[in-house]
Amino acid sequence: MPNVKSTSVRRGLSVLVLSFASLAALPALAVSTDPKEAVHPAASLEGNYLAAYVAGMARDTDAATIFYRHVIEGDPRNQELMERAFVAFLANGSMPDAFKSAERLVARNPANGLAQFTLGVRSLKGGKYAQARTSLNQGGRGRAVDITATLLSAWAQAGAGNGKAALALVDKLKNEQAFSQFREYHAALIAQYTGNTAEAEKRFKNAYENGRNTLQIVDAYARFEAARGRKDEALAIYQAFEEALPRHPIVRASVDAIKAGKPLKPIVASAQDGAAEVLYGLGVVGSGQGDELTAIIYLRLGLYLNPEHSLALVTLGDLYEKLKQYDRANEAFLAVPKSEPVRASADIAVGQNLELMGRGDEAVTYLQMQMKERPDDVEVVMALGNVQRSRKQFAEAAETYSKAIELIGTPDRGHWILFFYRGSSYERSKQWEKGEPDMKKALELVPDSLPSAKAQVLNYLAYSWVDQNQNIDEAFKMLTRAVELAPRDGMVIDSLGWAYYRLGKYDDAARELEKAVELKPGDPVINDHLGDAYWKVGRKNEARFQWNHAKDSNPEPEDLEKILKKIANGLDDAKPAAENAPAPAEQKPNGG
């Protein structure tokens, strides 16, 4: 959400979750290694406790929740276990269990901040606004300056029709400079919701002044202006955002609606929506700072208040992707309402996650289905090409990327990645006569503001030329430039080293490949290349060491066969080095 200072935000975000001691010992957030595998509770209290702990360490919140239920049933008076279970329930979205645990914790310790906070959210959901404020204010000392409790209390006041009191609460945060953008945004939403148009306009302008590239502020402000009949002003707000961050689906959908004369709904239609927006915004900040536990708890509570908050669902899915919980991520993405503009992006993520889960055929089928539903959506077409390419279906991928390129018409700089991916797909399917023009086009389009991406394009084009003994002088200039742009990229340095090898400059090759292997010591291709270079300069024991390291680093099956032969027999000096050369290394470029 807003761009705010890291230290202050972390203090504001973490104060609730970290307010009770047991959280410090909480196992790591969970990932389900096999979502189809049934989880059965252990026969003993000790067994369930150990299983819950192991599930947490294995990053499986589903299993941890199941085991903790049985733990607290067997030992309901154990405060530490109850607190651990409570946090696990919240993180897993098991709200009935979380609320029951919160009630027990508050009965024993009324100052338990997270438990009181959770009960306050439940009261807000039920429209019990006075009760919500009481819970939010009982979580310990200094709560008046805590951004979360203060803003939720303000929304409770707004829900009760007390707009003036709500704004007064928000303004208590004026001394928290790091939260000024966030404060003004919610003050604007509260003023709009309670019918104070003049105050809403002033607060929206304040928030927008420092948040022109913040989607939620831009969208809410533009909708506010459009609702007042100021369509040109609304379009100008969206246009400014488009210039900085083009093609966002929410912005495109809103602009299309305004031009078609359709009304735009306000961001917040109830106090519950407003409170959910608070929790969503703080969840985004926590996610961006790597504070996954706090972020997930905020998002879960926000989705309890507004289950169809599309951006909260997408952010939760992104968090689970970061934690490699792809099945849980897809649950969040598939919960995004189909009518929402971001549903297309969510569907793309579902297909990509299916591929990451080893369900490639399902991924292709799913994305093909999305293409039929949205045949003009370039992002969907590109996603299918990406999955096909990752499955080494290079000819099919090139054909799919061609469809995407046809859809874009005249390409701009943001489309360089399409030409890069199609060019690499042509090269891998042995159609370099088609791949070379695409690589040149990608190099023409890729902006200088993406140096790592530019290095990848230079690397691929130059390596391919060297591999075919073409344009050698220009290729070496390109590879040297690529290394300058990405001096810590082991794959780029590997390409330069391998180019030296291909030209028979084995001492130079060994020197560069040693640099590459220092940067990526576990890469099988680089270790294989360095082994070849060592063999050529007479360092045969070291060569076999590198080949063995490559063998143990999970190389591609076809590469493994060659490596094993080299370990057994060495390099056959009578054979040209080209027979040992793999395809150019390709990474997903930054900015792609």
Provide DSSP, 480-495.
HHHHHH-TT-HHHHHH
Q: Is the pLDDT of residue 241 over 80?
A: yes
In a domain, 163, yes or no: no
Residue 552: partners with Cβ closer than 8 Å, 6 or more residues away: none
The answer to whether residues 394 and 404 touch, using CB atoms and an 8 Å cutoff, is no
In a domain, 195, yes or no: no
The larger pLDDT score, comparing residue 194 to residue 58, is at 194
pLDDT at residue number 177: 72
Residue 162, Cβ density class (10 Å: 0-12 exposed, 13-18 middle, ≥19 buried): middle
Q: Is the pLDDT of residue 223 over 50?
A: yes
In this structure, of 173-177, 306-310, 430-434, the range with the lowest mean pLDDT score is: 173-177
**Dihedral sign (CA 303, 308, 312, 313):** positive
C-alpha span between 191 and 77 (Å, rounded): 45
C-alpha span between 518 and 553 (Å, rounded): 15
pLDDT at residue number 288: 81
In a domain, 316, yes or no: no
pLDDT at residue number 243: 87
pLDDT at residue number 9: 30
Q: Span 53-67, mean pLDDT? A: 61
pLDDT at residue number 244: 84
In a domain, 63, yes or no: no
52 C-beta neighbours (distance < 10 Å), count? 28
Give which of 323, 324, 325, 371 is closest to 347, Cα–Cα. 371
- DSSP for residue 54: H
The larger pLDDT score, comparing residue 52 to residue 195, is at 195
Mean pLDDT over the full length of the chain: 85
pLDDT range class, residue 556, cuts 50, 70, 90: confident
In SS3 terms, 340-353 reads as CCCHHHHHHHHHHH
C-alpha span between 329 and 319 (Å, rounded): 8
CA neighbours closer than 13 Å in the CB half-sphere of residue 118: 30
C-alpha span between 372 and 56 (Å, rounded): 40
Q: Is the pLDDT of residue 10 over 50?
A: no
Q: Is the pLDDT of residue 51 over 70?
A: no
CATH number of the domain within which 530 lies = 1.25.40.10
* Greatest C-alpha distance within the chain: 88
pLDDT in tens, 258-313: 999 999 999 999 999 999 999 999 999 888 877 788 899 999 999 999 999 999 99
pLDDT range class, residue 62, cuts 50, 70, 90: low
Host domain of residue 531 = 474-580
Q: Where do we find the tokens 């599309």?
A: 310
C-alpha span between 571 and 475 (Å, rounded): 26
In this structure, of 13-22, 70-79, 389-398, the range with the lowest mean pLDDT score is: 13-22
pLDDT range class, residue 216, cuts 50, 70, 90: very high
In this structure, of 10-24, 245-259, 572-586, the range with the lowest mean pLDDT score is: 10-24
pLDDT range class, residue 505, cuts 50, 70, 90: very high
**Dihedral sign (CA 290, 292, 298, 303):** positive
Give which of 86, 104, 311 is closest to 219, Cα–Cα. 311
In a domain, 332, yes or no: no
Q: Is the pLDDT of residue 574 over 60?
A: no
**Dihedral sign (CA 447, 448, 452, 458):** positive
Q: Is the pLDDT of residue 589 over 90?
A: no
- DSSP for residue 30: P
Residue 182: partners with Cβ closer than 8 Å, 6 or more residues away: 1, 2, 4, 147, 151, 281
Q: Span 60-70, mean pLDDT? A: 64
pLDDT in tens, 366-422: 999 999 999 999 999 999 999 999 999 999 999 999 999 999 999 988 899 999 999
CA neighbours closer than 13 Å in the CB half-sphere of residue 409: 2
pLDDT at residue number 178: 72
pLDDT in tens, 150-174: 999 999 999 999 999 999 999 988 8
In this structure, of 206-215, 241-250, 443-452, 506-515, the range with the lowest mean pLDDT score is: 241-250
The larger pLDDT score, comparing residue 56 to residue 466, is at 466
User: 68-100: buried (b, 16+ CB within 10 Å) or exposed (e) per residue?
Assistant: bbbbbeeeeeeeebbbbbbbbbbbbbbbebbbe
Provide the number of structural domains found in the chain: 1
C-alpha span between 298 and 286 (Å, rounded): 9
C-alpha span between 22 and 249 (Å, rounded): 42
Q: What percent of the chain has pLDDT over 90?
A: 68
In a domain, 500, yes or no: yes
C-alpha distances in Å from residue 502, one per residue of 33, 507, 577: 43, 12, 6
- Structure token digits, residue 396: 């099919």
C-alpha distances in Å from residue 441, one per residue of 339, 403, 479, 585: 36, 17, 17, 19
Residue 47: partners with Cβ closer than 8 Å, 6 or more residues away: none
C-alpha span between 254 and 207 (Å, rounded): 20
Angle between helix 490-502 and helix 524-536 axes, rounded to 10 deg: 30
SS3 587: coil
pLDDT range class, residue 69, cuts 50, 70, 90: low
In a domain, 5, yes or no: no
Q: Span 49-57, mean pLDDT? A: 58
Give which of 175, 177, 176, 172 is closest to 187, Cα–Cα. 172
C-alpha span between 295 and 279 (Å, rounded): 9
pTM of structure? 0.79
C-alpha span between 116 and 139 (Å, rounded): 6
The larger pLDDT score, comparing residue 6 to residue 49, is at 49
Q: Span 427-456, mean pLDDT? A: 95
pLDDT range class, residue 21, cuts 50, 70, 90: very low
Angle between helix 472-485 and helix 451-467 axes, rounded to 10 deg: 150
pLDDT in tens, 97-153: 999 999 999 998 888 889 999 999 999 999 999 999 999 988 654 444 478 899 999
Residue 439: partners with Cβ closer than 8 Å, 6 or more residues away: 419, 420, 423, 424, 427, 457, 460, 461, 464
Q: Is the pLDDT of residue 573 over 60?
A: no
Q: Span 347-371, mean pLDDT? A: 95
In a domain, 518, yes or no: yes
User: 387-418: buried (b, 16+ CB within 10 Å) or exposed (e) per residue?
Assistant: bbbeeebbebbbebbbebbeeeeeeeeebbbb
